[in-house]
Amino acid sequence: MSVDSLWSKIDLSVKGTPAPGTTNNAGEPKDKSKAKAWPKWEVRLLDTIGSLVWLCISVKLFIFDFDNYLVERFLPGSTSVLSYRFLFVGGILVLLVLFTRGRRLKCTYIGLFPFVVVFWKVPKWFYKAESCVAVFTFLNVASIALRHLKWNAATRFCAILSLVGVAASGNQVVLGLCASCLGIYFILLMARTIWFSVKSSHFLKSQKMLIDKFSSASFVTQITAVSPELRDSALQKFSAAQLATFQTNLGMAVLVSRATYYWAYQLEKYRTSAASLILSAIAYASLYVQGVVVFSMINWAILKMDPAAFSYSRDPVFLQAAYYSLFHGAGSALSPVSGAAVAVKIAANVVAPLFITALVTQFLINRRQVEQDAAAEEAVKKIKAAGAELEKRFKREYEVSTEEAIARLQALGENFFLTAITAMSAQLPSDYDAE
């Protein structure tokens, strides 16, 4: 069907005809009862309260039973009250819901604060930042966390359990097992950190698979195609509803085409940004801190198992063992004596050069950036090729280019698709789709 026979069915005069049973409310005053936005100070206060409440809940559940401690410390004869704490907390919540009226939403805000952060605060921050590099960085971190969730959960749990064992136990067998577990954990952590710092990002490689699935998905074909009803040769003019359907189909098709090129362009910006170096710096900083903690606990376990393993002038405390366990360890009050203590010190002295070498390699040789350049460049080419294929499909379906389609959308009137298309097109370099 020729472009004239398709586009000649458009009659803009039908857009001004109201649907049966509807009235024009343009002249009606706006509803003054619309809820006002909360003041900034009130939002910050609620954020502070929500953070404190959920911090207390997290500490109570996973770290320290502070309410038992406080009652036993200051009200030793009232410990039986703690058996009814659930009723006490539940009563407070019921009273807040019943008698606070306009503050019920604020109570809900505090009660669901973790979901507010995940589904509102974080997306809002990305929106205000107006940087897709931050979005890609967040998605990269999230994909790594999800991809290695089982490994991280298992190893971190074993490490935390070993830390607790060293701190709380006095049994030599338990101390030895926990110290060995911490040593194995750090070796694996160091190997993985160095390995992931020099290999190409799985997140960038996954973009190629994602664009393949996206471009070949049936729903993409459906939302970008012209409805068979609108192509019917017996149809002379679009009705208001049919024109709205055609406008929606056209806008969606242009949006998908522009979004594909926008995706490729933002991925290319992410490739040339310092995001990968920042993530690597954070990973190495975390490795350093965890290394100090691990060696501190191993040396503390050795000291608890055999006080004669070190020479010292006065009974050492944990902070002295931690200072001794730093990768330089100069001027420490402890000196290794036993074979185990000397072996751990040698291991720390070996780890320090390895750590520095890996760090210098990361930031000077910059192998990761080289690998990511290749992976990202291939992903960008793949996405742009998919965009070109979508452009061809669009021309076959609507018999106009996307640029001409945007002009016709403007003639049809403002809508959400046109706003989004204009915003994305403004950020794309000229003739980006022709590269």
Task: Tell me how crowded residue 334 is: count the other CB atoms within 10 A of its CB.
Answer: 21
Whole-angstrom Cα distance, residue 64 to residue 363?
40
Q: Is 71 helix (H, G, I), strand (E, B) or coil?
A: helix
The per-residue pLDDT for range 68-86, each reduced to its tens digit, is 777 777 777 666 666 666 6
Mean pLDDT computed over 424-432:
70
The pTM of the full predicted model, rounded to 2 decimals, is 0.61
In degrees and rounded to multiples of 5, residue 224 shows phi and psi of: -100, -5
Task: For residue 257, give the amino acid letter.
Answer: S
The per-residue pLDDT for range 318-338, each reduced to its tens digit, is 888 888 877 555 556 778 888
The per-residue pLDDT for range 360-419, each reduced to its tens digit, is 666 655 545 555 555 666 677 777 778 777 777 777 777 777 777 777 777 776 566 777
Alpha carbon 229 to chain centroid, angstroms = 43
Q: Band of the pLDDT at 4, cuts 50, 70, 90?
A: very low
Whole-angstrom Cα distance, residue 435 to residue 424?
17
Q: Has residue 18 got a pLDDT over 60?
A: no
Whole-angstrom Cα distance, residue 144 to residue 146?
6
Mean pLDDT computed over 21-48:
62
Whole-angstrom Cα distance, residue 419 to residue 417?
5
Give yes or no for a contact between 276 and 171, defined as CB atoms under 8 angstroms apart: no
Which residue in 187, 367, 365 sits closest to 287, CA to CA?
187
Give yes or no for a contact between 433 and 391, defined as CB atoms under 8 angstroms apart: yes
Q: Band of the pLDDT at 180, cuts 50, 70, 90?
A: very high
